[in-house]
Structure 1
Amino acid sequence: MENKRINGNDLIALGYKENHAMGVALKINKKRLGFSREQMLENFKNVLENPTSYLEDAIFKPLAEVLLKIDTIEAETIRLNDAPQVYSIFGKEHIEEGATKQMDVAMKLPVAVAGALMPDAHQGYGLPIGGVLATKNEVIPYGVGVDIGCRMALSIFDLPASYLEGHTGKLKDILMKNTRFGAGNGYLKHERIDHEVLDSSLFETDNFIRSLKDKAWTQLGSSGGGNHFVEFGVMDVDTADEVLGLEKGKYLALLTHSGSRGIGATIAGHYTKLAKEICKLPYEAQNLAYLDLDKAEGQAYWLAMNLAGDYASACHGVIHDKIRSALGAELLAKVENHHNFAWKELLNDEEVIVHRKGATPAGKGVLGIIPGSMATPGFLVRGKGEKRAIHSASHGAGRLMSRTQAIKTLSSMELKTILAANGVSLLGAGMDEAPMAYKDIHTVMASQTDLVDVVATFLPKIVRMADDGSRED
């Protein structure tokens, strides 16, 4: 009990309200600063009762200051609507309560127009992962997410699936030599390549964006940690598809998942901080702070977001080109789609800003890729343009357990058994990415038959990820 984390309910029991003072108190508590849990609670109680006496206290001064001006802060705070607007939930029985609570808050925003939760939804920051939110001319940096423009890219080659059987060693070698993974990782100066994205005029938007260009060059063609991957697998096309130009059959394919790397994270952090300074929302909604697209700050974020999206696409392009060249194969078809982005779209004949945080665009006829996990199928899909889903679908299976929980509870032996049963060779990755940490992809797909049609199935066979789930040595 001594080290049990102090949470909002503990502070409410002391008399705190769910406002900015609670947020400051919880930030102070994260440091704990040598106090026991009981001592910390006692201090919080005393500061609440007599904030003036703590104005010179090195630790509790920020909390005392906020408490003394809380009435002014709340008077300047934008009011949420009393009740959330109605929104659609797909696969509700498999979605955790934390995700729906976050979506409820988002749907109370005065700028919210419509929303939906995808069947892979789980709790995140601000908008839940798998959350789709349409707003009136306002963009929410945390509604887009930290990994701006994160995406899937699929290349289907003119090689049969049987190529995997006799060339496993070669394919592993190609992945190891032509990919680089992990948070913060990139390429040395003599290894870097040029790409037209680096010549984008958007890099000249302002000094902040200009300062990110060298990092962008360093990390071009690399992948992040966590659930990002580059993998060879079998593309099973059950029925010939004229749009893709593919005959029925099984092909060797390459599937990648990653985003805008360090520049996207830096842009997200910068503009989220700015949005919170400009848009004063209640404590429970502060991560949904938004920027007006008719104002300079909103326009600056919009340009930066689009640059990050272009950069993420370029990273995938570099990876796919390098691997195709090393493979010596011809490209039959390529499909790419992104999430963690905001689009200007029409909804009920009105232009809105659609945020898809961990959700795939699924407008009528739009192709997309919905992966499972390292040992379960992914699906090439065609959107049905379902209005209730705001023309969206899931972006994957969705996490069943947190990374910490997965690392603490899952068995490496069970992972090896599952990989062997599915004929998957794994290069890198941590237990936080084990298939058991994810929802059942078949259940997720069954929950969105109104949203997409399955065009083909992808079975991963050689999977490359960051060695420890975050970065490599």
Structure 2
Amino acid sequence: MKTTINGKDLLAIGYPQGRALGAALELLQQPALAAMETAAALELLKSVKEQPENYLDHETLEALATIIIEDANAAADGTIALNTDAKEYAIYGAAHIEEGARKQMATAMKLPVTVAGALMPDAHQGYGLPIGGVLATKNAIIPYGVGVDIGCRMALTIFDIPETHFLENTAKYKRELIAHTKFGAGAGFHGQHKADHAVLERDEFNLTPFIKQLHDKAWTQLGSSGGGNHFVEFGKIEFAERDEALNIDKGTYLALLTHSGSRGLGATIAGYYTRLAKQLCKLPQEAANLAYLDMDTEAGQEYWLAMNLAGDYAAACHAVIHQKLTQAIGGQVLAKIENHHNFAWKEIWNGEEVIVHRKGATPAGKGVMGIIPGSMTAPGFLVRGKGEELSVNSASHGAGRQMSRTKAVQNISKDDFKAVLKANEVTLIGAGLDEAPMAYKDINVVMAAQQELVDVVAKFTPKMVRMADDGSRED
């Protein structure tokens, strides 16, 4: 009689969740064990579990015995073993995703807390979880799965102003854009120029002495933007048909689009809790940057509250920028749309509550609106999510880089950069060669790879872009 042993049977005889359990289940598919009586096979596997050193020269059981010994040694020094096999995950736009991003995602899918994952078509290699990686975990939060720029966000304001007004008054728009924005690592406002917002009164700023001492920095940087790929830009947005939900008719309108995050507040929180997670959660070297905090611990709850504070602070920064510029240019606001990326949410996936990390990915639950930008010369898209479960209700957060910053600076000339801007009639204020359009993937290819994830509602075309003057990265 063929054996019919499952994972529950192995758990009952002492196999823990993890690599050894997976290896034992695989062994049961081999002819030698598959043909055994259930009781005999269980007795043998129990013996291997309890005395693995006796099976190190066994033709069939050596690999399992080795894993059991390795896991025992790892447990002795506090290292948490990864699962032997990565859980399956969906990849969108696989032909254009580098191997490094795939390897990082595969490692993340071996974490013992991982439930599901997906890789977006703009994905590229990052730290821990790849940029464009989505990871659902059970009762665990990964600081580097959220990212350094916590709550990095897109925000769009659509005005009743026609494109012609912008084209006839570009000097005014440029003047106001420069006057009401500030960019770069460490940039902020001082004295009477400081903005105010209810987020600064949040109780979470008194959560710990560490968080409390970040309040002044948060106030100074409120309403500013970071370096790197952060921007504030005017452009035209085109609706091919009336959108009932937004109550916007078919046509072309002026819009303001911003991209930035939680500034020094978020970066400092990310660094602190990543270090803490690495101290509390020792993982093998290849997974060290995926160290997680148990949501049932004080550290896990602290990070969760701090992360949400940083996310709301990022939203407040956008609100200040949009308020200033709306007041400066006039016009009626037809709609406002915004979405986080670099964040984690409690969501229901496949019937259970999970923590969904979207590191450079846009929430795309059914009916959820988001903004997916291209580059400074490529269109961006206002989208509505379809709620695709395989993508863990997510979509890309942009076009994604095809060149690292270093490679872009080495391979793109200033003349070529200027030529692309001129050809696309884009006025650029600031930015370095590392943000040149050629450093990014083709947004149209990216959008084609995620048609099952989102519906396009409107197309945004940048016309006047401001970024950090020196191309500096976020502090």
TM-score where L is the length of structure 2: 0.84
Moved more, 446-455 or 158-167: 158-167
* Corresponding residue for residue 304 of structure 2: 302
* Corresponding residue for residue 441 of structure 2: 439
1:392 paired to 2:394: yes
Shift of 1:182: 0.1
* Corresponding residue for residue 105 of structure 2: 103
Shift of 1:86: 0.5
* Percent identity of paired positions between Structure 1 and Structure 2: 68
Distance in 1 (alpha carbons) for counterparts of 2:382 and 2:412: 29
Moved more, 101-110 or 404-413: 404-413
* Corresponding residue for residue 317 of structure 2: 315
Distance in 1 (alpha carbons) for counterparts of 2:77 and 2:271: 26
Question: Residue 280 and residue 176 in structure 1: after superposition, are their counterparts in 2 closer, same or farther (change >3 A)?
Answer: same
**Which among 126, 133, 136 is matched to residue 134 of structure 1?**
136
Q: Secondary structure at the match of 1:294?
A: coil
Shift of 1:75: 3.6
Shift of 1:72: 7.3
**Rg larger for:** 2
| Contact 2:74/2:81 (<8 A) preserved | no
- Mark the runs of 5 or more structure 1 residues left unpaired by the alignment: 1-70
Question: Residue 301 and residue 438 in structure 1: after superposition, are their counterparts in 2 closer, same or farther (change >3 A)?
Answer: same
**Which among 202, 215, 239 is matched to residue 237 of structure 1?**
239
1:32-431, aligned counterparts within 5 Å? 75-431=77-433
Q: Secondary structure at the match of 1:256?
A: strand
Distance in 2 (alpha carbons) for counterparts of 1:295 and 1:387: 29
Corresponding residue pairs, total: 403
Deviations 1:73-122, CA, capped at 9 Å, x for gaps: 87421000011000000000000000000000000000000000000000
| Contact 1:185/1:471 (<8 A) preserved | no
| Contact 2:428/2:466 (<8 A) preserved | yes
What residue identity is the alignment partner of 1:388? L
Distance in 2 (alpha carbons) for counterparts of 1:152 and 1:164: 22
Distance in 1 (alpha carbons) for counterparts of 2:269 and 2:292: 15
Distance in 2 (alpha carbons) for counterparts of 1:265 and 1:413: 34
What residue identity is the alignment partner of 2:159? F
Which 4+ residue blocks in structure 1 deviate beyond 2 angstroms? 71-75
Q: Secondary structure at the match of 1:155?
A: strand
Distance in 2 (alpha carbons) for counterparts of 1:471 and 1:288: 23
What residue identity is the alignment partner of 2:101? A
Deviations 1:301-353, CA, capped at 9 Å, x for gaps: 00000000000000000000000000012111000001000000001110000
Distance in 2 (alpha carbons) for counterparts of 1:74 and 1:370: 46
1:18-33, aligned counterparts within 5 Å? none
Deviations 1:389-412, CA, capped at 9 Å, x for gaps: 000000000000100000011011
Question: Residue 471 and residue 370 in structure 1: after superposition, are their counterparts in 2 closer, same or farther (change >3 A)?
Answer: closer
What residue identity is the alignment partner of 1:297? A
| Contact 2:120/2:395 (<8 A) preserved | yes
Q: Secondary structure at the match of 1:159?
A: coil
Deviations 1:31-80, CA, capped at 9 Å, x for gaps: xxxxxxxxxxxxxxxxxxxxxxxxxxxxxxxxxxxxxxxx6787421000
- Mark the runs of 5 or more structure 2 residues left unpaired by the alignment: 1-72
Deviations 1:174-222, CA, capped at 9 Å, x for gaps: 1000000001110112311211010111111111111100000000000
Distance in 2 (alpha carbons) for counterparts of 1:411 and 1:274: 42
| Contact 1:181/1:471 (<8 A) preserved | no
Distance in 2 (alpha carbons) for counterparts of 1:380 and 1:421: 24
TM-score where L is the length of structure 1: 0.84
Q: Secondary structure at the match of 2:161?
A: strand
Q: Secondary structure at the match of 2:155?
A: strand
| Contact 1:359/1:393 (<8 A) preserved | yes
